Amino acid sequence: MLKILEKAHKELHKLGGRPSRLRSVLDKLIIMLGDYHDYRTMENIPFEYGVYKQRSSEAIAWVEQVLTKNGTFALPSKRKLLKSDNGLQIVIADAT
């Protein structure tokens, strides 16, 4: 995950630009994974990392977007799951 994010970050900032308030790509990844693991509120994450609420939500959205675009961590489409002939039944639950 980290290699994919670092590559995307280099491409995004190859022409320069404003530095991020989060210290590294690893910080963004840790914030996203922590959010998924603990399902914390958006008030706890900025407090823990010392950033604004908007910055932490932007970091989570950026990490999700880059990883989804890469395709390595994307779930198969519903059509692929329904065409599966291996006899296994797959259930995906969203508990939000």
Q: Express each pLDDT in 4-43 by its tens digit.
A: 999 988 888 777 766 666 668 888 888 888 888 877 777 7
**For residue 95, what are the CA distances in angstroms to 20, 36, 92?**
32, 12, 10
| Contact in structure between 69 and 52 (CB atoms under 8 Å) | no
- Please tell me the total count of domains within the chain: 1
Give the 3-state secondary structure of residue 51.
coil
Position 4 scores a pLDDT of: 92
Whether 95 maps to a domain, the answer reads no
Mean pLDDT, range 65-86, rounded to an integer: 78
Whether 22 maps to a domain, the answer reads yes
Whether 64 maps to a domain, the answer reads yes
- Mean pLDDT, the chain, as a whole number? 78
Q: By residue range, what is the domain housing residue 52?
A: 2-83
Whether 89 maps to a domain, the answer reads no
d(CA 75, CA 47): 31
Residue 63: what residue type? V
pTM, two decimal places: 0.64
Whether 88 maps to a domain, the answer reads no
